[in-house]
Amino acid sequence: MSKARFVTTTALFTATLICVQLVLSGVGGIELVTVFFLAFCFYMGIRAGVAVAICFSLLRCFLFGFYPSVIILYLIYYPLFALFFGWFGTKFGHKITNVKFFFIVLFAVIFTAFFSMLDCAITPLIYGFNNRTWLAYFYSSLPFMGTQIACVIISVSILFIPLVKGFEKISRYSHT
């Protein structure tokens, strides 16, 4: 991929993720960023995924605010997500079998739970929560984590394959 195509792809998909997050930002626990970013990283690979992860993590601050805990959380989580799913798509290929699809959904759920747990570790450290406040924060995050996991199971199950096919078509047409 040429440098110009790489920059354009990064910019367009970062904007896409911002729009996807903005559309559902008012609904707690419901999000589609995971399935869009998962399909992108799976098909486009580690380099493109990490570039989008960093751009998305920083650009979203202009819309939702510059909160230190969120900046740190996003700059840790999304590049790790991109590394893993970019590697997964590269290592095991883009042909989606039932077994591969099962593991994609499973790993998406694991990453979603990891995001919530990472937030429960970072936010109390940044804001200096005492143990009681940390536990209250942790327990109050569980319903949102449950909703996010259910959302990820449903959205990845329904949208992942069509999104990967879309990236495949876009990639095929952009090379002609």
pLDDT of residue 129: 97
pLDDT of residue 30: 85
φ, ψ dihedrals at 65, nearest 5°: 105, 155
User: Which two structure tokens, joined as six digits, stand for 149?
Assistant: 């996991």
The list of the chain residues with pLDDT below 50 reads: none
Map out the domains of the chain with their CATH numbers: 3-174 (1.10.1760.20)
pLDDT of residue 2: 86
pLDDT of residue 168: 92
**Tens digit of pLDDT for each residue in 64-93?**
899 999 999 999 999 999 999 999 999 999
What is the full DSSP assignment across 23-68? HTTTSTT---HHHHHHHHHHHH-HHHHHHHHHHHHHHHHHHH---H
Q: How far is CA 167 from CA 38, 43, 171, in A?
A: 12, 7, 6
**Tens digit of pLDDT for each residue in 5-26?**
899 999 999 999 999 999 988 8
Please enumerate in sequence order all residues whose Cβ is within 8 A of that of 63, keeping only pairs 6 or more positions apart, or say none: 18, 22
